[in-house]
């Protein structure tokens, strides 16, 4: 292993190409981390079509995290108050299989849950689906993507008939108007933002609108920043649509020929005159009118969003209301236009393709659809009726299932719910009650390891070969270029081994991940996400490939006619039409009141990744963001007698936490902001999710992590 390896960044869904060289490749200086350990050298892969050589600080420093605090051997203990003892794989897997069988035959398969991760490679996701949904007969597989983008999935499915972001990154440089709502793209998807910012700078006519209660670094660059009150997104979007309708900025041909439901939507819009909308959103009428004018006058409008829209008790309604704007103006299926959800994790997209949520089956199929279940049962060679007709437990429902005793086994892999779930005290109490928790991860310690009965060491990115799909549907092979530490094994291998030990030998015959992937792509045939033309061998030979890529297109890596979904303006609904949705805003699930007068919003910082399992172990990123903080508007800081840097006690109905104050006009009055990266391992009593609530969107099951009511007091 002395040559450089081309791979994909394992952090965010931008999916930048990386080129990694060994610590002492010929002609290179040896790079070392702060402790003097030689580290792999990482640079951007100029040939990767999504990023063209660009990387942010997270991608550039990822190799520093690969060797620290790694789990190297399985461990077990009989109860949470006992110490772990090191065991063999055989003993650990034997105990898991025995427990799975006992629970399966006493409580039923629905008492078995797996909580996975957008850090999985597609092969891991696919084998987990086969094990849980196809063999054990439970749809209780959910991933941390539930907390990230499940509202986008539900919105796409309901509006277009299928999941799948229609645009591609080329559209960032082709658009005339970028409408960014609920996304701090500059910090959370930095390379996407670099591309957009360059285009915006070079082309004076291009408009950049940013909708965010905070004046983020993204908002700083905008032509128009709409600092709306949290929870008023639907009001704003309906208000813009009202003005577009009034100005006649519609594409009636597209509406008539390619959509359904416009008349009902137009009726709703009558209730959103600009005066009312501006007042409700807390913005100037002129700004609302400017936003509508920018949209209406632009030939090509691209909207981008992420968790600011998705993490909401009305997340699906928000996504669909945004899509409405694209439908009424035919801003879809054309270069520079379309609704584009930015995915949080590196392979949340691959998870969606593989059916990696409790409501999905592989190949963009749905658990609720009897025909889809039948197709997958046949494909997997399992008896008819094996796949349960009910949607499985979502991430939060696994927690409530522990509370009620309905969950007998919880298998957590590559994610850290003891930091990332809402209402953390309740989450931790439920985890403490779990009769049997398997925790499979690359790192130890983590906050979640504390709640495990069995711990399995997982090989991570760089140590196993598999594929990941980024936000623009581009699939990249991530080859293994290092050996896993100790006895760590790829996630898919662990799942397959358990499947075989449970007696499902025929379902798990795979010798390597290329064989797993070859089976997986066959299940995508003739689906929106058709990848039958993609294989490990082809990815290795030709580099990244965007889907759809049907087998018939194997001569061309990225056929231009398939770059964007719906370029023929036909949609995968029964009548071929996209659907308008008519929603009134319901507002926040937990609005502020005199006892809890502020809205807390949570988010991410440029240099950190989620719960810091990697970035907390990297010198550069920890120096960049050494401490948590709370952003408070100067007016409220003065009212409460809080000076910059002083500790603030924050209370919600569920818990409390303390943060040093950062007094800034970047946050709107009435709102405060806390980053979500700090768990108990990294700071005392500074968990953002100690405060948040689990109230979720009824369609997507995504909790409203973006807003809860809090009270502040100087410590
Ligand atoms: Fe990695 Fe995302 Fe940074 Fe690209 S933008 S280098 S994918 S973290």
Does some domain include residue 584? no
**Per-residue pLDDT tens for 309-352?**
999 999 999 999 999 999 999 999 999 999 999 998 999 999 99
Q: Which atom of ligand 1 is nearest to the CA of 346?
A: 7
| Ligand 1 center–CA 62 separation, angstroms | 10
Ligand 1 within 6 A of CB of 58: yes
Does some domain include residue 575? no
Q: What is the CATH number of the domain that holds 658?
A: 2.40.40.20
The span from the CA of 619 to the CA of 681, in Å, is: 16
Select from 384, 415, 361 the least CA-distant residue to 130: 361
| Ligand 1 center–CA 620 separation, angstroms | 15
Task: Residue 619: give the domain boundaries.
Answer: 598-714
| Ligand 1 center–CA 586 separation, angstroms | 35
The span from the CA of 5 to the CA of 7, in Å, is: 6
**Please, what is the average pLDDT of the chain?**
96
pLDDT the model gives residue 589:
98
**Per-residue pLDDT tens for 276-304?**
999 999 999 999 999 999 999 999 999 99
Question: Of all residues in the chain, what percent carry a pLDDT higher than 90?
Answer: 95
Q: Which atom of ligand 1 is nearest to the CA of 56?
A: 3
- How many CB atoms lie under 10 A from the CB of residue 622? 17
Lowest pLDDT segment from 26-40, 140-154, 364-378: 26-40
423 and 500 share one domain = yes
Which of 37, 65, 93 is where one domain is finished? 65
Pairing of strands 545-546, 474-478: antiparallel
pLDDT the model gives residue 110:
98
Element (H, E) at 180: strand 177-181
353 and 337 share one domain = no
Tell me how many domains the chain contains.
Answer: 4
**Per-residue pLDDT tens for 222-275?**
999 999 999 999 999 999 999 999 999 999 999 999 999 999 999 999 999 999
| Ligand 1 center–CA 640 separation, angstroms | 39
Exposed, middle or buried, 237 (CB in 10 Å: 0-12/13-18/19+)? buried
Statement: residue 26 has pLDDT above 60: no
Q: What is the distance in angstroms between the CA of the first residue and the CA of the last residue of the chain?
A: 55
Q: Which atom of ligand 1 is nearest to the CA of 190?
A: 5
Ligand 1 within 6 A of CB of 191: yes
639 and 683 share one domain = yes
- Is it true that the peptide bond before 548 is cis, omega within 30 degrees of 0? yes
Statement: residue 22 has pLDDT above 60: yes
| Ligand 1 center–CA 463 separation, angstroms | 19
Q: What is the CATH number of the domain that holds 469?
A: 3.40.50.740
Structure tokens at 307: 């968790």
The span from the CA of 163 to the CA of 359, in Å, is: 12
Sign of the C-alpha dihedral computed for residues 249, 253, 256 and 260 taken in this order: negative
661 and 672 share one domain = yes
CA angle 116, 398, 683 (to 5 degrees): 70
| Ligand 1 center–CA 478 separation, angstroms | 15
Q: Which atom of ligand 1 is nearest to the CA of 609?
A: 8
161 and 304 share one domain = yes
201 and 283 share one domain = yes
C-alpha pair distances (Å), 590 with each of 104, 278, 600, 655: 38, 22, 10, 15
Q: DSSP letter at 333?
A: S
- How many CB atoms lie under 10 A from the CB of residue 433? 15
Statement: residue 561 has pLDDT above 80: no
360 and 467 share one domain = yes
701 and 554 share one domain = no
142 and 220 share one domain = no
Element (H, E) at 193: helix 190-202
Backbone angles phi, psi at 669, to 5 degrees: -55, 140
108 and 30 share one domain = no
| Ligand 1 center–CA 598 separation, angstroms | 33
**Per-residue pLDDT tens for 348-394?**
999 999 999 999 999 999 999 999 999 999 999 999 999 999 999 99
Does some domain include residue 588? no
Average the pLDDT over 12-29 and give the result. 83
Sequence-separated (6 or more) residues with CB below 8 Å from residue 320? 155, 158, 159, 581, 583
| Ligand 1 center–CA 621 separation, angstroms | 13
| Ligand 1 center–CA 77 separation, angstroms | 38
Sorting pLDDT into bands at 50, 70 and 90, what band is 1?
very low
pLDDT the model gives residue 258:
98
The span from the CA of 297 to the CA of 247, in Å, is: 10
Ligand 1 within 6 A of CB of 55: yes
Does some domain include residue 570? no
Angle between helix 315-328 and 233-247 (nearest 10): 10
Exposed, middle or buried, 643 (CB in 10 Å: 0-12/13-18/19+)? exposed
Average the pLDDT over 15-44 and give the result. 80
Does some domain include residue 441? yes
Ligand 1 within 6 A of CB of 484: no
Q: Of 617 and 552, which is predicted with more confidence?
A: 617
Does some domain include residue 592? no
Sorting pLDDT into bands at 50, 70 and 90, what band is 307?
very high
The span from the CA of 588 to the CA of 557, in Å, is: 45
**Per-residue pLDDT tens for 66-95?**
999 999 999 999 999 999 999 999 999 999
Select from 473, 465, 363 the least CA-distant residue to 15: 473
C-alpha pair distances (Å), 685 with each of 399, 430, 603, 679, 705: 22, 19, 17, 8, 18
Which of 65, 91, 107 is where one domain is finished? 65
pLDDT the model gives residue 39:
87
43 and 98 share one domain = no
Ligand 1 within 6 A of CB of 11: yes
C-alpha pair distances (Å), 320 with each of 265, 271, 544, 578: 11, 18, 30, 11
Q: Whose CA is nearest to atom 4 of ligand 1?
A: 16
Kindly report the length of the chain. Answer: 715
Q: What is the DSSP string of 107-120?
A: T-GGGEEEEE-TTS
Average the pLDDT over 696-700 and give the result. 97
Ligand 1 within 6 A of CB of 59: yes
Long-range CB contacts for residues 72-76, cutoff 8 Å, separation at least 24: 72/457, 72/485, 72/486, 72/487, 72/488, 73/457, 73/486, 73/487, 74/454, 74/455, 74/456, 74/457, 74/487, 75/454, 75/455, 76/453, 76/454, 76/455
Statement: residue 554 has pLDDT above 80: no
Does some domain include residue 617? yes
Element (H, E) at 710: strand 708-714
Number of H helices, E strands in the chain: 24, 30
| Ligand 1 center–CA 547 separation, angstroms | 20
pLDDT the model gives residue 23:
85
Element (H, E) at 142: strand 141-143
Long-range CB contacts for residues 405-408, cutoff 8 Å, separation at least 24: 405/433, 406/107, 406/110, 406/111, 407/111, 407/112, 407/113, 407/434, 408/99, 408/102, 408/103, 408/106, 408/107, 408/111, 408/112, 408/435, 408/436
| Ligand 1 center–CA 509 separation, angstroms | 35
Statement: residue 461 has pLDDT above 80: yes
The span from the CA of 607 to the CA of 185, in Å, is: 13
Q: Whose CA is nearest to atom 2 of ligand 1?
A: 12
Does some domain include residue 593? no
Q: DSSP letter at 181?
A: E
624 and 702 share one domain = yes
| Substitution site in 58, 471, 607, 620 for ligand 1 pocket (most atoms within 8 Å of beta carbon) | 58
Statement: residue 37 has pLDDT above 80: no
Select from 607, 514, 649 the least CA-distant residue to 61: 607
Statement: residue 27 has pLDDT above 70: no
Q: What is the DSSP string of 458-518?
A: BP-TTSS-EEEE-TTSEEEEE---SPPSTT-B-HHHHHHHHHHHTT-TTT---SSHHHHHH
pLDDT the model gives residue 556:
59
Q: What is the CATH number of the domain that holds 54?
A: 2.20.25.90
Q: Which atom of ligand 1 is nearest to the CA of 59?
A: 6
Three-state DSSP state, 331: coil
Q: Which stretches of 358-486 are DSSP H helices?
A: 370-380, 395-404, 417-420, 424-433
């Amino acid at each position: 292993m002395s040559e450089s390896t081309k791979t994909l960044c394992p952090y965010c869904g931008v999916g930048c190409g990386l080129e990694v060289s060994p610590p002492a490749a010929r002609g290179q200086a040896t790079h070392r981390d702060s402790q003097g350990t030689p580290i792999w050298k990482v640079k951007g892969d100029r040939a990767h079509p999504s990023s063209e050589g660009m990387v942010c600080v997270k991608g550039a420093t990822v190799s520093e995290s690969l060797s620290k605090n790694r789990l190297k051997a399985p461990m077990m203990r009989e109860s949470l108050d006992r110490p772990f003892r090191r065991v063999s794989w055989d003993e650990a897997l034997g105990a898991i299989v025995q427990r799975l069988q006992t629970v399966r035959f006493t409580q039923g398969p629905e008492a078995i849950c797996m909580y996975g991760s957008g850090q999985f490679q597609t092969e891991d996701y696919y084998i987990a689906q086969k094990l849980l949904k196809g063999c054990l007969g439970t749809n209780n597989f959910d991933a941390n993507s539930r907390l990230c983008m499940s509202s986008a999935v539900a919105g796409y499915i309901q509006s277009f008939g299928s999941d799948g972001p229609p645009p591609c990154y080329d559209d960032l440089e082709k658009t005339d108007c970028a409408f960014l709502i609920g996304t701090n793209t500059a910090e959370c998807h930095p390379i996407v933002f670099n591309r957009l910012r360059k285009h915006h700078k070079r082309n004076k006519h291009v408009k950049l609108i940013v909708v965010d209660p905070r004046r983020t670094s993204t908002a700083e660059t905008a032509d128009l920043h709409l600092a709306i009150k949290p929870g008023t997104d639907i009001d704003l979007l309906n208000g813009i649509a009202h003005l577009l309708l009034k100005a006649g900025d519609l594409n009636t041909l597209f509406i008539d020929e390619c959509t359904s439901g416009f008349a009902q939507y137009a009726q709703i819009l009558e209730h959103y005159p600009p005066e009312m909308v501006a007042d409700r959103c807390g913005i100037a009428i002129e700004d609302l009118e400017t936003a509508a004018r920018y949209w209406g006058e632009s030939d090509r409008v691209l909207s981008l969003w992420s968790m600011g829209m998705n993490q909401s008790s009305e997340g699906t309604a928000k996504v669909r209301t945004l899509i409405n704007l694209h439908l009424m103006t035919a801003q879809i299926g054309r270069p520079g236009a379309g609704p584009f959800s930015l995915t949080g994790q590196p392979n949340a997209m691959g998870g969606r393709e593989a059916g990696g949520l409790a409501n999905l089956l592989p190949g963009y199929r749905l658990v609720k659809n009897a025909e889809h279940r039948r197709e997958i049962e046949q494909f997997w060679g399992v008896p008819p009726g094996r796949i349960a007709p009910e949607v499985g437990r979502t991430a939060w429902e696994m927690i409530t299932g522990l509370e009620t005793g309905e969950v007998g086994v919880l298998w957590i892999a590559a994610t850290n719910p003891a930091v990332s779930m809402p209402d953390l005290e309740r989450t931790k109490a439920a985890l403490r009650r779990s009769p049997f928790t398997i925790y499979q991860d690359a790192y130890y310690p983590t906050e979640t390891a504390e709640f495990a009965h069995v711990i399995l060491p997982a090989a991570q990115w760089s140590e196993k070969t598999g594929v990941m799909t980024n936000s623009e549907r581009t699939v990249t092979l991530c080859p293994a270029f290092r050996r896993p530490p100790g006895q760590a094994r790829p996630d898919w291998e662990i799942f397959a081994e358990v499947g075989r030990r449970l007696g499902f030998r025929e379902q798990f015959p795979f010798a390597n991940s290329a064989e797993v992937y070859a089976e997986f792509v066959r299940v995508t045939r003739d689906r929106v996400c058709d990848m039958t033309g993609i294989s490990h061998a082809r990815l290795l030979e030709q580099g990244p490939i965007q889907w759809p890529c049907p087998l018939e297109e194997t001569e061309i890596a990225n056929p231009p006619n398939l770059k964007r979904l719906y370029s023929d303006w036909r949609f995968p609904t029964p009548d071929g039409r996209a659907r308008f949705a008519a929603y009134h805003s319901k507002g926040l699930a937990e609005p502020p009141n005199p006892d809890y007068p502020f809205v807390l919003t949570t988010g991410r910082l440029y240099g950190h990744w989620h719960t810091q399992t990697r970035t907390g172990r990297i010198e550069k990123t920890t120096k960049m963001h050494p401490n948590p903080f709370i952003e408070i508007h100067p007016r409220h800081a003065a009212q409460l007698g809080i000076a910059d840097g002083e500790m603030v006690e924050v209370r919600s109905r569920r818990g409390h936490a303390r943060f040093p104050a950062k007094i800034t006009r970047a946050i709107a009055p009435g709102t405060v902001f806390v980053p979500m990266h700090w768990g108990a391992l990294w700071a005392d009593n500074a968990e953002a999710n100690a405060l948040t609530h689990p109230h979720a969107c009824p369609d997507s099951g995504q909790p409203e992590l973006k807003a809860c009511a809090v009270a502040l007091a100087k410590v």
